Amino acid sequence: MENLKTRTVTSRRRFLSVLAAGVALGTVVSTGLSVPALAAVAESGSDLSGWTTVVGDGVYAAAGQAPVTSADIAVEHRGTDSRLRANVQNRGIMAHAISFKRVTDVSMMKVVHQASYSFQMPYVPSTAGGPRNAQTVEGGLFVWDGINTRVDHGTAFQWVLNPWQSNFGQISVWTSANGGSWAKAGYLKPDTAWHNVSMTVDPVNQKVQLIIDGVNMNAPYSRTPKSGWGTDVSARLQTEIISIYPGANATWAPQHEVLVRDWSWTRQ
């Protein structure tokens, strides 16, 4: 899973605060009135316009190849969907592209997050080779608590799409084991159909739910320590791809791409 080392690159999003100011809250309590429930905030979009795209940490450069940079990834917002691409220059590398939306506010650890989006592979990875092939498609919903726990709370999935691997098509979920690792959770046949992922993260009760095409993946609530991250509290919804491992001496490797559409994110 990515570690978003480039957090400082992203611009701050405007957010709606759902917590009353301390003085106002004290007034409500002192007069005996009930404290109002946190107001629901809902966001959605047909493509990923307004999201941030960065290079993740799942990268590799074969012998003689320059390190992976932002020039090796791309995203195209097309109105009805967004096309996320990795290794766009067909170099002998494995590139990791992450598109994410972040909301920063102390209330993010106090609300329930429910998010979903649809994704599609426009081709089927194959050992026959060709101009496109894949390592993974991934996605997640997390809340970074940089004030108290300094832990990333949430859930994520990984679809294994390297056709040379024995676990081709496996769905894995993110766990807290060994500081953060993947665990087998199911299988999704690699195809070109649209698929839907729905994720819920409840930091207060430390519960998550991750559903793909109506199937509950039984994902655990993950708590992942991070070093070098800020002292903010922020939530993020993300989608990711990693292009196929090229081999130790590769001078060329295929591109990888995924289409994403119809995202939504509710916080209450």
Reported as a single tens digit per residue, the pLDDT across 66-104 is 999 999 999 999 999 999 999 999 999 999 999 999 999
Average per-residue pLDDT for the chain = 89
- Three-class DSSP category at 43: strand
Categorize the per-residue pLDDT at 224 as very low, low, confident or very high, splitting at 50, 70 and 90. Answer: very high
Residue 116, token pair as written in the block: 């979903």
Predicted confidence (pLDDT) at residue 62 exceeds the cutoff of 70? yes
Mean pLDDT of 185-201: 98
What is d(CA 119, CA 115) in angstroms, rounded to the nearest whole number?
13
Predicted confidence (pLDDT) at residue 37 exceeds the cutoff of 90? no
Strand partners, 100: 52, 238
pLDDT for the residue numbered 39: 78
Where are the domains positioned within the chain? 7-267
What is d(CA 261, CA 104) in angstroms, rounded to the nearest whole number?
23
What is d(CA 92, CA 247) in angstroms, rounded to the nearest whole number?
8
Categorize the per-residue pLDDT at 59 as very low, low, confident or very high, splitting at 50, 70 and 90. Answer: very high
Q: Which of 256, 253, 251, 255 is nearest to 65 (CA)?
A: 251
CA distances from 80 to 46, 47, 55, 76, 230 (A): 5, 6, 24, 11, 34
Mean pLDDT of 40-58: 98
Which fold does the domain 7-267 belong to in CATH? Answer: Jelly Rolls (2.60.120)
pLDDT for the residue numbered 125: 98
Residues of the chain above pLDDT 70, percent: 86
What is d(CA 79, CA 97) in angstroms, rounded to the nearest whole number?
20
Strand partners, 212: 197, 215
Predicted confidence (pLDDT) at residue 122 exceeds the cutoff of 50? yes
Which element (helix H / strand E) includes 25?
Answer: helix 22-30
Predicted confidence (pLDDT) at residue 191 exceeds the cutoff of 50? yes
How does DSSP classify residue 86?
E
Residue 265, token pair as written in the block: 């994110």
Do residues 162 and 168 make contact, with C-beta atoms less than 8 angstroms apart?
yes
Residue 137, CB-side half-sphere exposure with 13 Å CA sphere: 32
pLDDT for the residue numbered 35: 33
CA 231 to chain centre: 20
What is d(CA 199, CA 202) in angstroms, rounded to the nearest whole number?
10
